[in-house]
Amino acid sequence: MRADAQRNTDALLAAALAVFATSGVDAPVREIAAKAGVGVGTLYRHFPQRADLVAAVFRREVDACADTAPVLAAEHGPSEALARWMQRYAAFIATKRGLASALHSGDPTFDTLPAYFEKRLVPALRSLLTAAAAAGEVRNDIDANELLTAVAGLCMRGDDSNPTYAQRMVALLVDGLRYGAGLI
Residue 64 lies in a domain: yes
Please tell me the predicted confidence (pLDDT) of residue 97: 61
For the stretch 16-39, pLDDT in tens is: 999 988 888 888 999 999 999 999
* Residue 153 confidence (pLDDT): 86
The confidence score (pLDDT) of residue 172 equals 92
pLDDT at 5: 80
41 and 78 together in one domain: no
pLDDT, residue 36, reads 96
- Same domain as 38, residue 106: no
Q: Are 155 and 96 in a shared domain?
A: yes
User: Domain check: are 18 and 83 in the same one?
Assistant: no
The pLDDT assigned to 106 comes to 79
Query: 44 with 65, same domain?
Result: no
Which domain range does residue 1 map to?
A: 1-48
How many other C-beta atoms can be found within 10 angstroms of the C-beta atom of residue 112?
12
Specify the DSSP class assigned to residue 108: G
CA distance 127 to 180: 20
Q: What is the CATH number of the domain that holds 69?
A: 1.10.357.10
* 168 and 82 together in one domain: yes
pLDDT (0 to 100) of residue 53? 93
Q: How many domains does the chain have?
A: 2
Residues 126, 83 share a domain: yes
SS (H, E, C) 114-155: HHHHHHHHHHHHHHHHHHHHHCCCCCCCCCHHHHHHHHHHHH
pTM of the model: 0.86
Q: Which pLDDT score is estimated for 38?
A: 95
In a domain, 183, yes or no: no
Q: How many CB atoms lie within 10 A of CB 111?
A: 11
User: Residue 133 falls within a domain, yes or no?
Assistant: yes
Residues 16 and 72 placed together within one structural domain of the fold:
no
Collect the ranges in the chain with pLDDT lower than 50.
Answer: none
Same domain, 59 and 40: no
**CA atoms within a 13 Å half-sphere pointing along the CA-CB vector of 122:** 12
In a domain, 184, yes or no: no
Same domain, 67 and 113: yes
In the chain, alpha helices (H): 3-23, 29-36, 40-46, 50-75, 78-95, 97-103, 113-134, 144-155, 165-178
Q: What is the dihedral of CA 120, 53, 51, 95, to 10 degrees?
A: 60
Distance CA 121, CA 57 (A): 16
107 and 160 inside one domain: yes
* Same domain as 64, residue 40: no
